[in-house]
Structure formats: C-alpha cells, structure tokens
C-alpha cells in the first residue's frame, strides 16, 4: 500500500516525457526567434520539428512497449522480487 493515500500509482511513460521536452524546446526556439527582429524560422521548419518530435516519441513508445513485453514474458514484473507477496500491485 502506498504511503500517500488517495494517489493512484501509474506507469512512467518515457514517450510522454520525450514529447513534452521536445515540444517545450520547439516553443522556446520559436519564442526566441520571434523576439529577434532580423530573422524568423519559417513555419515549415517549425512544422517539421513538431513532426520529428512526434516521430521520436513514437519510436520511444515502441521501444518502451517492447521492453515491457519482454520483461513480462520473462516474469520480471516491476519490483516483484523486492516486495513481499501480499504487497504486490495487480
């Protein structure tokens, strides 16, 4: 049982983290370029960066799912070895 009552546990999703960081970086880049009066990034470049971020997050998601599937097949569920039998999450 969690020490924090009322907080549901969930899986960590690396793809969400990667996508969030990539989109945040693109947003900062667009902001910095917008403040610079000399040159701006074309919209096509920004759209290509967003598409690349989505593609990268998809690849990370596929790798994450394959690693989780292989661990599940081997019986190496997260933390099963370290916890007592009555304290495992279902």
This prediction has a pTM of 0.69
Taking the CA atoms of residue 20, residue 23, residue 27 and residue 29 in that order, the dihedral angle to the nearest 10 degrees is: 120
Domain ranges of the chain: 14-75
Q: Is the pLDDT of residue 89 over 90?
A: no
Nearest to 26 by CA among 3, 45, 6: 45
Degrees to nearest 5, angle at CA 17 with 16 and 23: 85
Nearest to 43 by CA among 30, 53, 55, 57: 30
5 vs 81, more confident = 5
- Residue pLDDT, tens place only, 16-66: 999 999 999 999 998 888 888 777 778 899 999 999 999 999 999 999 999
């Amino acid at each position: 049982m969690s020490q924090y009552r009322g907080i549901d546990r969930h899986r960590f999703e690396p793809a969400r983290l990667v996508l969030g960081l990539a989109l945040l970086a693109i947003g900062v880049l667009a902001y910095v370029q917008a403040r610079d009066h000399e040159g701006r990034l074309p919209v096509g470049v920004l759209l290509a960066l967003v598409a690349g971020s989505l593609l990268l997050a998809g690849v990370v998601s596929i790798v994450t799912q394959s690693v989780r599937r292989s661990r599940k097949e081997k019986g190496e569920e997260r933390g099963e070895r370290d916890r007592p039998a009555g304290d495992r999450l279902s």
